[in-house]
Structures are given as C-alpha cells and as structure tokens.
Amino acid sequence: MGSLADPYALRCVSDLPPPFRSVFRFRYFNSLQSECFHVCFFSDVNMVISAPTGSGKTVLFELCILRLLSRFLSPDWRFNLNKGTLKTIYIAPSKALVQEKLRDWNMKLGPLGINCLEMTGDSEFYNNKAIHDADLILTTPEKFDSMSRHGIKGGRLGFFSDIALVLIDEVHLLNDPRGAALEAVVSRIKMLSRNDNMKSFPLANVRFIAVSATIPNIEDIAQWLLAPPEGIKRFGEEMRPVKLTTKVFGYAPAKNDFLFERRLQSFIYDILMQHSRGKSALIFCSTRKGAQEAAQCLSQTGASLGYSNPFMKSMQQYEHLKEASLTCSDKQLQACIVHGVGFHNGGLCLKDRGLVEGLFLKGDLQVLCTTNTLAHGINLPAHTVVIKSTQFFNKEKGLYVEYERSMVLQMCGRAGRAPFDDTGTIIIMTRKETVHLYENLLNGCEMVESQLLPCAVEHLNAEIVQLTVSDIILAVEWIKCSYLYTRIRKNPENYGVKRGTPQDLLEKQIQDICVQKIHELVDYGLILTDEGAFVLQPLEPGRLMAKFYLKFDTMKLIVKASASCSMEDLLHVICHSAEITWIQLRRKDKKILNDINADKDGRLLFHIVTENGKRKKRVQTREEKIFLLANDCLTGDPLIHDLSLNQETNSICSNGCRIAKCMREYFIYKKNYRSAINSMILANSLHQKLWESSPFLLKQLPGIGIVTAKALKTAGIHSFETLATADARKIELATGRNYQFGNHIKESMSSLPPKIDIDIEETGNRFGKTTITVTLTRLSQAVPSSKRSCADMVVASEEDNVILFHENIRTREFHSPYSVKVFVPCPQNARVTLKVDLIFEGYVGLDVHKKHVVSREDGLYVTKEHVIDKLEPAYNLPSEICLVSSRTTRTSRSQSYTEQSPLSKEVYVIEDDGVAVSALEKADNVLGTRKFNNLASLLGIIQPSPCGRSAYTTTLY
C-alpha cells in the first residue's frame, strides 16, 4: 500500500485494506477526497479542510477513522478490534447532526464491531462503562464540556487517555457564541495531551481533523490545531458538484419580529416564480406554524390558478398526489399536497412525515415548507433553497434571534440536487441591515473569531476544578492552547489589546488576563491561591459552579446570599441570575403582570411589593416580571396562557431548578440550615412547577393534568393520602373517566418514594452534651422500580442555624431501620431545638419534618419531641406527608458513597460553644464544620445499632 504516482488521479476504494472497503458504497473517491486521501489515510498529521457544503468532507472523517483502526490490522489483513482502547471523538454543532452521523456510522462501521455512543441532551442513558467501552463518541461541544467537568480522578475523565482522534465538524462554529464551549473542550484535550502522565497513552499523540465551510482565515484554525502545511486543504466552489447561484434580499423591518416574518410570506410566490419555476424548492421557516402557513398560502395561490398551477406539471403527478392525500391523517397537509405543496415539521406523525419525504424525493411534491431541523436530520436536497427570515424564535430566550452561521450554511447545503440538477439556487430573505453579513457568509469572506474571552472565567474555573490548571504558568498555557491566543496575536484590537503591541508586551497582557480572572475567582471564594497566584487550588463553590454549568455572575449571587434565606429570597436570586438575563419586560406584558400581582383571589405565595410592604401596582423591571411568572406557574394552575410568556416561564423553571440545586449543595457545604432546606424545597417546586402548598399536588402523578386535579380536588381528593384511601370507582366518577382509570391512578402512586417515619430519642448525656439518636423506619413496602429515589436527611440546630449532620439517602434501597447518633452540646440553663428533615428529591408535598427540644435546667435534661404539622412562615416548610415504598442505600452528595466500610463516613463536629472549627477555615471561610474522613480515627469505635442487624449507628462529637 502506498501513494500513487499521480497526486491528482482519482483514488480507488480498492486502495484501502480489504476489511475497510465495505465502508464505502462507490468505487472511486471524488477529486477532493482523492487529493486528501494520502494525508488522511497514510499519515497521522493534524488537518484542517475548508470546502463548500456538499463536497464530500464526511468521507475524509471516515478515512481518518479507518487510519486509526488500521492499528488493529494483522499482517495478513485480519481485523482484531480491542474495544474502547483507541477512541474517536466526533464533535458537531447540533444534536440533529450528531444523530444523523450516528445512524450513518452505525450502518457503515457496525459490521466492523465499532461501538458508537451518542452523548447529547437527548441521550442520558450512558454510564461510565458505556463511555469506556465506546470506540466512537458522538457529541455536541456543550454536552462534552458539561459531562467532562467532574474531575479527572472522578472517573468521568478517565477515558481521556484513550482519545486518539478528534473530529470537529463545522469548525466555523467558533464564530458563534456557542463556539466558546468548542474552544474550551479542544483546549482541554490539548492541555491533557501534554501532561507527563499521558506520555504512554494514545492521548499524547492525539490527532485533530477539522472541516469547515469556505472561510478566509483557515490558516488561523490550522495554527491553533497545530496542522502542518500538508494538512491544510482549501477548496473553492470548483469542488461543489452543483454550481450555485446565491441571492440575499433585504426587507424593511416591521413593528415586531413576528409581523416581519409573516410579511415575508407574501414575497415567497414571486421569488419561486422568478428563480425556481418548475424546479423543486425547500422553504425553511423558523416555526412549525410558519411552515404550515407558508404551505397553505402557496397551495391556495396555486389552486386559484387552476390548470395553470405552476406547482403541477402533469395529470399523472396530480393523480399521484390525490391518491397519496387519501392516506394522510393531517387534514391541513391533505389539503395542501393535492396542489403540489407540502409542509414538514415535528408536529406531524411519523407516517405523514414519511409520506411527504417520499413524495418530495420522487418529484411529485414540488415545494416543501419546513423548519430548520430538516437541514440536519434528513437528506432532502432541492434545486432551490429559500430561507424565509434569518431569525428564529428561541424558546429558551423567549425572543427572536439570528440563526447561527453554521445553521445557515447547513440549510444552504441542501441546494443543488446531484445528479438531477447541474445548478442550484440559494435565496436568503433578511432585514436590510443584515444583508452584508449573509453576503459575506455565502462568499466565504467572514473571518472566524474567538468567543472565549467573555466567558473565560467560567472555563478557567472548570480547568482548575479538573486539575488541568494548577498554577499560573498552566493558566497561561491554557490560554495559549486556545483559539483566542491565535486570534489575539493576529487581531488584538478585537480583544481589547492595542494594535502594534510588541510581542513581549502582548505575552504580558495575556498573562494579565489570566491573573485578572484568577483574582475574580479568589475574591468570591471559588478557588484558593497563594500570595503570588502561583498555586491554584479548587474549592467547593468553584466545583459547584463547574458541576452545574453556571455563569460566574450567578455564582457570585449565591456566594453573597444570606445564611438564613427564605424561599422568597432564594427566588429573587434566581430572578437576577445571568442564565435568564435575555428575558426582557415588554410593554405588552405589563397589563397581565400587573393583574397577576394584584392577586384578588389570593393565589400567589409571594408578590412584588414596595419598600413599605404594599403590593406594587405596576411592574417595572425584568426581574419583577420573572418573579411573577414563576409565582404564577408554581400555583399549579397558572393564569398566563400567552405562548411567548409560557416559553419564558418554562426556561425560568428549568434554569431555576438547576440554580436551586447548586444553592442546595452550596448551603449544605456552608452548614447554613435554613438556606439549605429552602433551596431543596425550591428546587423540587421548580422541577414540578408546584408549590408544596398547592392544592394540585396530584399533578405529580403520571396521567393527572390540571383538569383531572381540579375534579379530584372538588371531590375532596387533594393529597396523596386521600388518594391512597379513595375508592377507584369514586375517582372515575369524579373525573368522568372510563373504568380502570381509578385503578391506574392508584397504581401510579408506586412511582412515589416510600413512606418513612422519623423517630428522635435521647440516648445519653455526659459532660454537658446530649446524645440524640435519629432513626428512619420505612412504613411501606419497597416497590421495585427503575426510577431513582433519593432524599436529603438533615439534622440541625435551629438556634444556631447550623447543620449538624447531612446525608443523601437512596430511599428505595436503605436497610430499615437506619439510625444516626448526634452528640449535641447543651450548656447549663440553655435550650437546643434539634430539627430533623427528610426532603425527597424531585417531589413536593412528601417531606417529613420533626423537631426535638433539649433543655438543661439545674443539671437535669428535659426533652420534648414535636411533629411539625404546620410550617413556620420563615422557613416555608411543608407539612408532614409521605407515601409509598422501596429499598435504600446510603450516599453522600459531596462524594459518591462507594466505600466498603462505614468507617469512611464523613462526619462533622460541633464544638462546645456551638461553633465548629474548620479544617480549611482560612481557605474556605467555612463556619461550623470540621471534617473527618475516617470515623475510627476520631472515635476509635463503631457502636452497633439496637434497631436491627442491618442498621448501623454513627455518633457525632
């Protein structure tokens, strides 16, 4: 095997080793692939390839994968794969593109035994074993960044040492705001590859292959990825199999974005008649409804012309479409396709989508209006592509935003149907002020810049947490591994550096950027450093920011929060968080928000108030809007039904839940009892979109929506306890549902955590301290379930607002009864109120709360135990309700509990004066804790539990 004499001759698939030939379904590689063949398959150099969409760049990825797999070939061409030992990482901008490549490569590489694993937001089933066994991991930059932020020594980054090949699709994503995540993960891989510990692993010689649409500064990306001259391949329009004509039309803006997009509808027919008459056309619309409306408008126009319908070529086509329409279940689609126009979106059933795709590929359906997701997921090329508006409605942000450049190029890549057409047309409809942006994009004139600097502090913190950066020298090295470093030297003004700065001063400014970011992290207690910032050590707040993927501004709010935050205080923290700053207060929102805050029916738990405590009559800020949207949603029966406001509310709840979970772990770390408990309950409330005081708690069960919950409430069934004792037939009668519905609803209660009782007992005292035993007993039998069920057990001193003990328990698996002994200081003539809470993760209205009062008078101990039936308003804690069953094991939030012996249980110690001494008091500023990782080293004893053989007891001093 070797290179051919003529470098410009087309390479044959038979030039590959016999086991690899079946991967390709053609005999010859095209001219682009043939030119890159030798470097891809006969070398290990890094490569950057810039070429038009549709020119066959995916085959280059496949050649590089086969080059890596050739290490498993024997001299007699036998292929013996050693699974998971040489990993390929494929990084693409979207989930749809990842899934498209997954289907393709499973089919092509599956016969070779290659194990492909998808890692996106849609695939949460994978575990460490699946990752380690995978040969090809397909992921998005954000997901890869997120899942790899849990520490090299935690097992999640253990597979990094096996990475031998990194494939970056559409590397021009670097120019979009999302490009920072791509830059961060590539820099992380580069940093780890230089680690001395990796010298004997494949990662030390990792190979990067990046492909891009036509861009002007491919050399910058090549410099970043360390590609030599022979690895840089630039191809122009001559490599496109179908020649394209591009047009960018600019239109005057309308009163709002929605009206602008609707107005563009009236121009589409004329555009098609001028540029695509008689040819197939794809019209990309930003929403499902927009695609449907565009199709209906074109269909009606065509129908009004009768026999002159431009979308109908022959009577045979009409007969095919008429016959196909009879099998269509969607009435609107049925009415459109008989006139030669169809629409395709996620709202159609699979059968209708397959029908439309088949008709379009055959040419019976001439025009297809679709959403942008079709640009990635399904191979439906057309002669003409029309992008109706370059903005789309972002559900998370609740407003119209510009498409990412990579998405526009992907949509444009559908234009030109080889081998049916030798030409294609791209039409982009945008605003007048953005015409030049898309002309530059289509002409390959848009420079690719780095987007890392605005979020460098978050990514630098993540590297410190992962220990890839442990000192200032490595922090500067991390910057030098980034694309930012390459561009800042080429175009310093774009990054706030004066043009013409000498090289030595430029290096000094880059170092100053690192020092500035480090000082910001130190100031808020996220990392620890020495006086010269030479040694960098991660602290728990920094780990939490990386773990929950929070922005630095949000973490600053959490760090500054009070130790005794009420639920309302915590909700205000979320409302000011950086994750949802894009939500704006629009003029049209004010009336409905003002009416909600008036709250004449007393629905809301909290209101927007003035300084003197009176309800505000007018909402004035975006934070107040967010606060009211959350409160309205958490009633369980929101009054707001506006589409855009509902989308904003969904984003508030999803981001808010993540932030509240971070606050929960932060306040547990700080031992702040009230803030920790309220964070736990708030996270659950945002997850379920219900306050614990909502009368519609039954909505948490599958099959119960707001209508059914209201009907059950009217019938007196408003809690899990009343539902458990209710007759199934009464449930059906109350809800107007069919027979067996009541049985199914009662059976669905098995998905809830088991019912658990808490017992608090004084078991001894000495030297002014009282030993309290807390015992958990499961009251209902465990029901086998694949659903993970956890609860936070918190023991705290109410007067000091200090958490004495915390543990995260798997409620379906723990050995009942389970006891914990807490040694509580109680000075003479003093009173200590011990609070015990069991907060179930992911549910509201099930938590158990008890308290135990210990008072020491004249040397005698007097104890009282209380069940908390009603909550103190300051804490907003729920009443004691708990249901259903299963088994339980012990786990800790702060560390995975995988030890063999209870000796390694983490223990916190409270000193005589009620204030604990911290092992890292100066570094962490932690109040109220001293950590011991080995109980035997502290006590030298383990006390058997009187509660049963399977239980064990821990004493805290």
Q: What is the mean pLDDT of residues 785-790?
A: 73
Q: For domain 453-541, give its CATH number from 1.10.10.10, 1.10.1530.10, 2.40.170.20, 3.10.129.10.
A: 1.10.10.10
Q: What is the pLDDT of residues 523-573, one digit of tens each?
A: 999 999 987 668 899 999 999 999 999 999 999 999 999 999 999 999 999
Q: Is the pLDDT of residue 664 over 90?
A: yes
Q: What is the CATH number of domain 550-701?
A: 1.10.3380.10
Beta carbons of 41 and 63 less than 8 angstroms apart: yes
pLDDT score, position 298: 92
Q: Taking CA 402 as the corner, what is the angle to CA 590 and CA 434, rounded to the nearest 5 degrees?
A: 110
pLDDT score, position 287: 80
Query: Percent of the chain beyond pLDDT 70?
Result: 84
Q: Look at the domain 243-443 and name its fold.
A: Rossmann fold (3.40.50)
Q: Is the pLDDT of residue 952 over 70?
A: no
Residue 940, both tokens:
């030298």
Q: Taking CA 942 as the corner, what is the angle to CA 941 and CA 944, rounded to the nearest 5 degrees?
A: 135
pLDDT score, position 437: 87
pLDDT score, position 786: 59
Q: What is the pLDDT of residues 377-389, one digit of tens each?
A: 556 778 899 999 8
Q: Is the pLDDT of residue 163 over 50?
A: yes
Per DSSP, the three-state class of 12 is: strand
Q: What is the mean pLDDT of residues 733-753?
A: 89
Q: What is the pLDDT of residues 506-518, one digit of tens each?
A: 888 888 889 999 9
β-pair partners for 249: 429
Query: Percent of the chain beyond pLDDT 90?
Result: 48
Q: Is the pLDDT of residue 2 over 70?
A: no
Residue 925, both tokens:
């500023």
pLDDT score, position 901: 29
Q: What is the mean pLDDT of residues 236-259?
A: 82
- Backbone CA torsion sign across 811, 816, 822, 828: positive
- Where is average pLDDT lowest: 693-707, 846-860, 896-910? 896-910
Q: Is the pLDDT of residue 848 over 80?
A: yes
Q: How far is CA 317 from CA 299, 343, 363, 380, 841, in A?
A: 15, 18, 9, 19, 58
Cβ-based burial of 525 (10 A; exposed 0-12, middle 13-18, buried ≥19): middle
- Where is average pLDDT lowest: 401-410, 688-697, 859-868? 859-868
pLDDT score, position 951: 35
Residue 914 phi, psi (nearest 5): 85, -5
Strand ordering across the sheet containing 818-825:
756-766, 769-778, 818-825, 955-956
Distance CA 12, CA 1 (A): 12
Rg over alpha carbons for the chain, rounded to the nearest Å, is 32
Distance CA 365, CA 363 (A): 5
The kind and range of the H/E element at 57 are helix 57-69
Distance CA 691, CA 634 (A): 5
Domain boundaries, the chain: 13-235, 243-443, 453-541, 550-701, 756-855
Global confidence as pTM: 0.78
Confidence of residue 832 (pLDDT cuts 50, 70, 90): confident
- Where is average pLDDT lowest: 37-51, 618-632, 642-656, 894-908? 894-908
Distance CA 904, CA 900 (A): 8
pLDDT score, position 510: 86
Residues 6+ apart with CB under 8 A from 507: none
Q: Is the pLDDT of residue 956 over 50?
A: no
pLDDT score, position 419: 63
pLDDT score, position 865: 53
Q: For domain 13-235, give its CATH number from 2.40.100.10, 3.40.50.150, 3.40.190.10, 3.40.50.300.
A: 3.40.50.300
Q: Is the pLDDT of residue 637 over 70?
A: yes
Domains 13-235 and 243-443 share a fold: yes
Beta strand spans in 291-414 (E): 341-344, 367-371, 384-388, 391-394, 399-402
Q: Is the pLDDT of residue 441 over 90?
A: no
At the fourth CATH level, the homologous superfamily of domain 756-855 is C2 domain (2.60.40.150)
What is the residue-averaged pLDDT of the chain?
A: 82
Nearest-CA neighbor of 397 among 621, 622, 701?
622
Q: What is the pLDDT of residues 93-113, one digit of tens each?
A: 888 889 889 999 999 999 999
Q: What is the pLDDT of residues 882-924, one digit of tens each?
A: 322 222 333 333 333 333 322 223 333 333 333 333 333 333 3
CB atoms within 10 A of CB 508: 11
Q: Is the pLDDT of residue 940 over 50?
A: no
Q: What is the mean pLDDT of residues 425-441?
A: 89
Give alpha helix (H) positions in 701-775.
706-714, 720-725, 728-735, 741-748
Q: What is the pLDDT of residues 856-886, one digit of tens each?
A: 664 444 455 555 544 433 333 333 323 222 2
pLDDT score, position 123: 54
pLDDT score, position 580: 92
Distance of CA 765 to the CA centre of its chain: 50
pLDDT score, position 733: 92
381 vs 156: which has the higher pLDDT: 381
Q: Residue written as tokens 């410099």?
A: 223
- Where is average pLDDT lowest: 47-61, 158-172, 869-883? 869-883
Distance CA 668, CA 680 (A): 10
